[in-house]
Amino acid sequence: MKPAVTAIGTLLVGALAISGAALVLHSAPVTPPTLVATPSTAPGSLPPGVTKAVSLNLSTYGDSSAIKWRRGNGGQGPHPDWVSYGPTTVLQVPAHALVTVTITQYDTGDRIPNPFLSEVHGTVGGTAQLTMADGKTSTVTSIDQAHVGHTFTVRSFPSSAQDTLFVSVPVPAVSSNAPALANGFPKPNVMTFSFITKGKGTYAWNCEFPCGSNYASFGGPMATYGYMSGTLKVV
């Protein structure tokens, strides 16, 4: 599981505060496989200008041993103890689509230094649907800043050649004493939310909770493409 994080001061609030991270977090040479969104049925009529509905299912893990595409060394990847998103971090969705993302959170967490990132941004209605490990469900616009596990944060590369996109959703940490499932994972928290794509483009996404190593816990899996960062392709 991730180490405890000590707050290092208030970061700049807003999307501009994290826009530069995209370039740093996309430098590793290994390219993960692409997860193509699955066609789905929208709950009711689609918004104006939206032509289809799709879904993506992701999970967050306290280590990367569950990520099958990395298993090239006796069933383990090069860093089996690193936190990771799965099943992959390269995502493909259609343009002009309602995209519903479900994130199953198996990892613990801590306090996120920037309260902006404990809030829901860029989703339909500005909300997300949260199902806790104890079965309680709620519609949320933020979660407790002190108990964040990871975030799913999408932003545009600096470019005027494609539509802008910013989505950021926090996922609450699983309790360290959560009951274990048959597969050995703790009973998860689940966050579901939807956002709308515009035209075609390529976007960066990553976790903004400092869950890595080295300086301010932003090294290791935080700085290596394919663990806590990836690409969203709008096609």
CA distances, 217 to each of 162, 173, 188, 214 (Å): 32, 17, 23, 5
* 32, part of any domain: yes
pLDDT of residue 58: 98
Radius of gyration of the chain (CA): 17
Which pair of tokens denotes residue 169? Answer: 């959703």
- Full domain range(s) for residue 175: 15-234
Q: Could you tell me if residue 4 is inside a domain? A: no
Quick check: is 7 in a domain? Answer: no
| C-alpha distances in Å from residue 74, one per residue of 70, 117, 190 | 10, 37, 31
Q: How high is the pLDDT of residue 77?
A: 65
Is residue 9 in a domain? no
Domain tally, the chain:
1
Alpha carbon distance 83, 80 (integer Å): 8
In a domain, 124, yes or no: yes
Q: Whole-model pTM?
A: 0.84
Residues of the chain with confidence (pLDDT) below 70: 1-30, 71-77
Q: What is the pLDDT of residue 158?
A: 76
pLDDT score at 30: 63
Q: Phi then psi for 211, rounded to 5 degrees?
A: -115, 20
Strands 52-61 and 84-86, by their bridges, are antiparallel
> Does the bond joining 94 to the residue before it have cis omega, within 30 degrees of 0?
no
